[in-house]
Structure formats: structure tokens, C-alpha cells
Amino acid sequence: MKLTLTLESLGLWGAGKETFKASTVTFKAYVPAIGGEVLAISGPYIKGLIRGWTYRIAPLLIRNKIIKGKLVSECTSASTCGECIVCKVFGYSGGVYSPIKVSNFYAIDPKFISEIAEKGLETSLLTLPNPWYSVETGFITHIRIDDVTGKVAPGALFVVEIAPPGTTFYGEIELMENLIVDVDVDDARRLLLASISQLNQSYIGRRSRGRISVIEVEPQDIFKDDFCSEVFSSMRR
């Protein structure tokens, strides 16, 4: 599945420590075709966001008989059970492979979307020098005021690096259906898609909103499924 994500607000990502010196920096990833780094959202981060939604969506889909599958209420991303439908589709610690592969999402110039989609992300990163958008990130300084003293709280001045609204990112999500065990492939597709579509209703970074759009989907037979094709049509670019 080939996707774009366009920021509708300032994009804030990065490791969580808001300390005086170590600012929250947006993630950058290396692009061989330019021999340098571009602004990106890390694949594991996006996968984690989607998985978080899957925990919330799966019970609804099961209750409404859209998918079948086992739930384990104690299962979380941090402490996976290995038994529930989320673990079977996303993988779990101690498991062999995760059936879902999520690439980094790279900041691009939107006019190259179809060229990247046609070549695929991996080839594009190696061979296309032009699509990668060197976004000027900005910095915002935050100060936290101590409630008691009314002064700046110690260590509470921190800087976050931000990506401007309108920045478009390109990435790919693959469901490796041959690795899915004990779950119906159609159910796995429905669950994944419904969860991805939730990113449009939620924050995708710290106070960041974005719009996920689907550029291309394989295999095409996924459109034979009414539920999937309805979800897709809501995510057309």
C-alpha cells in the first residue's frame, strides 16, 4: 500500500525527553540518491500509532461481525500477549516476523508522488535525486512556569523542532499475507485498513494532525471486499 501523509498542522515528533538541552528533534533519514538526510517520520513510530488504534478498533469490528478474532484485554504494545488478533497481525515480542512492514515516511515534493509510487520507495531512495524535499524545520521554545514560585521551572525550558504545515510525506505499508497465521487474510486486511484510516481522526505526533491518503494498493482484489473498498474511498488523495 502506497500512502502519503500531509501535515495539517505543525509536525512535532521525536524522542520524548523535553529537557533543557536535548530538544525534541524531528527524525531525519538517509536517502542514498542524494547522499544526505531528509525529514522523515520513522516507520516504527507510524506502526506504533496504527497498532494503538488497532487495539481500539478490533473490539468494535468484532462486535459488529465485520471481522472475527480473539481479543486479550491485557495485551498492550508494551506487553504483547502473542495470542490476540492484534498480535497475530502486527507481531509480538518473541514472535518470528511481523506480518506488517512499515517504511519510514519521507518528506517529498508532492509533484513526484506518482513517480515514486511507480518505482516503489526502495528503488526511488536509491535512484531518484529530485523528489526529496529539504524542509526548513523551525524551532519553538517552550517554557513551563512553576505554579508555586511563578518563575520558570528548573529545566523546563525546552526547544522543539517542527515541520511546517502542508509538508507531504511518502511511505509504504505492506501486509505480508503469507506470514499471517490463525487469522483470516480478509479480516487482517479489514483490521489494518480501518486502523490506518483512524489516523485521519487523531493526532499523529505531539499535537500534530495530518491527512493520510492512499495512492496505490496491491493486490487489486482487495477492492472486491466491500468494507475495504469503502475505507479506501475515504482515503483517496
Contact residues toward Zn ion (CB under 5 A) are 75, 81, 84, 87
CB of 1 to Zn ion, least distance (A): 23
Task: Pick between residue 33 and residue 62 the one whose CB is nearest to Zn ion.
Answer: 62
CB of 107 to Zn ion, least distance (A): 33
CB of 85 to Zn ion, least distance (A): 8
Task: Pick between residue 3 and residue 87 the one whose CB is nearest to Zn ion.
Answer: 87
Which residues share a beta bridge with 170? 4, 106
Burial degree of 168 (CB within 10 A; 0-12, 13-18, 19+): buried
Burial degree of 57 (CB within 10 A; 0-12, 13-18, 19+): buried
Task: Pick between residue 14 and residue 69 the one whose CB is nearest to Zn ion.
Answer: 69
Task: Pick between residue 88 and residue 209 the one whose CB is nearest to Zn ion.
Answer: 88
> Which helix (H) or strand (E) covers residue 185, if one does?
helix 185-198
CB of 36 to Zn ion, least distance (A): 39
Q: What is the DSSP string of 191-226?
A: HHHHHHHHGGGSEEETTEEEEEEEEE-SSGGGGGSH
Query: How far is 56 from 102, CA to CA, in rounded Å?
Result: 20
CB of 201 to Zn ion, least distance (A): 23
Task: Pick between residue 117 and residue 180 the one whose CB is nearest to Zn ion.
Answer: 180
- Cα distances (Å, whole numbers) of residue 156 to 12, 103, 177: 18, 34, 47
